[in-house]
Amino acid sequence: MNGQPDANNVLRSTQIVIEQALRKLGYGDEMIALLQEPIRMLTVRIPVRMDDGTTKVFTGYRAQHNDAVGPTKGGVRFHPDVNEDEVKALSIWMSLKCGIADLPYGGGKGGVICDPRKMSFRELERLSRGYVRAISQIVGPTKDIPAPDVMTNSQIMAWMLDEYSRIREFDSPGFITGKPIVLGGSHGRETATARGVAVMIEEALRTKGIPLQEARVVIQGFGNAGSYLAKFMNDAGAKVIGISDVNGALYNKEGLDIDYLLDRRDSFGSVTNLFENTITNEELLELECDVLVPAAIETRLRASTPRS
């Protein structure tokens, strides 16, 4: 069974949330019909010349959920599991996030079906630029603003920004967020997700009466969010006893050597493949702990890791 049904569930489950919320707020069918799908969903085909001289055609998406209060905003994901329903669902969640924080933005989301781990630096550049060319007409600082997401980083944002600015024939740093500091990126942006989770964990522990120094933390996922969170927790004195990545999980009752793991982690967030003594993701999720943080991508959170 492939991931499609799961993805459908992501959209359907999101629509159910929307419907329930709107019903509670007293809105009728009209509003539900309007908000349960993006107002605009663009699917594009991106031909990319590969290093071996062949051309490969990638499929990309950009969803704009609702722009009633301002431009739409949301990340672009590069991943083999990207699909239309997931992109749609995530754009809806972005509307909710912006609304909760009272930001003058609607929700947007993008994605390209590809496996960045199997692409060269230049292939990634050409794909990033091609994606921007394909969607350029419907995005912009006052229309729809991309950002990094799963497996896209500040380098990719820099390529996308450069392509957009070249098309527009002027410097347009407001087109994208998550770009490098030197190109106008925001300080603290890279660690913001992890920082937010860390603050909430600290507040939760305080409420529960668990001293931070005694807390055992397990983190599923060692990407941008998970790895910085591990560092923040570790630096704050907590004991990070388990982490996982796409290949497996690591466990140490006394606390893992987070700085060492961060140092050895590759650019896609993989580190467990360097170790022989790994546990499975299922085992990780069953570890006894005080704090368990799900920091992997949506579909991964429910998937099981095959025992190798």
Residues taking part in catalysis: 109
Residue 19 CB burial class (10 angstroms; 0-12, 13-18, ≥19): middle
Buried/exposed code over 254-279 (b: 16+ C-beta within 10 A; e: otherwise): eebebeebeeebeeebbbbeeeeebb
117 binds a second copy (CB under 8 A): no
Kindly give, in sequence order, each residue whose CB lies less than 8 Å from that of residue 76, ignoring residues fewer than 6 positions away.
62, 109, 110, 111, 112, 131, 146, 147, 148, 149, 152, 156, 160
Scan for tokens 């992501």, then name that residue. 10
The H helix count followed by the E strand count for the chain is 10, 10
Q: Which is nearer to a second copy, 96 or 212 (CB)?
A: 96
33 binds a second copy (CB under 8 A): yes
We find the least distance from the C-beta atom of residue 7 to a second copy, in angstroms, to be 16
Kindly give, in sequence order, each residue whose CB lies less than 8 Å from that of residue 184, ignoring residues fewer than 6 positions away.
173
* Contact status, residue 132 vs residue 140, Cβ threshold 8 Å: no
The dihedral built from the CA positions of residue 295, 118, 76 and 302, taken in this order, carries a sign that is negative
The dihedral built from the CA positions of residue 268, 236, 240 and 204, taken in this order, carries a sign that is negative
Candidate list 26, 104, 188, 306; residue touching a second copy; CB under 8 A: 104
Candidate list 4, 20, 43, 304; residue touching a second copy; CB under 8 A: 43
Stretch that binds a second copy, among 133-141, 229-237, 246-254, 260-268 (CB under 8 A): 133-141
We find the least distance from the C-beta atom of residue 2 to a second copy, in angstroms, to be 17
Candidate list 9, 15, 19, 143; residue touching a second copy; CB under 8 A: 143
We find the least distance from the C-beta atom of residue 52 to a second copy, in angstroms, to be 12
8 binds a second copy (CB under 8 A): no
Q: Which is nearer to a second copy, 176 or 219 (CB)?
A: 176
Candidate list 3, 113, 117, 184; residue touching a second copy; CB under 8 A: 184
* Contact status, residue 133 vs residue 163, Cβ threshold 8 Å: yes
Candidate list 142, 186, 273, 304; residue touching a second copy; CB under 8 A: 142
Closest CA to 135 of 109, 158, 116: 109
Stretch that binds a second copy, among 55-63, 210-218, 242-250, 299-307 (CB under 8 A): 55-63
We find the least distance from the C-beta atom of residue 82 to a second copy, in angstroms, to be 15
| Interaction site with a second copy (CB under 8 A) | 30, 33-34, 37-45, 47, 49, 54-57, 59, 67, 69-71, 104, 122, 133-134, 136-138, 140, 142-143, 166-167, 169-173, 182-184
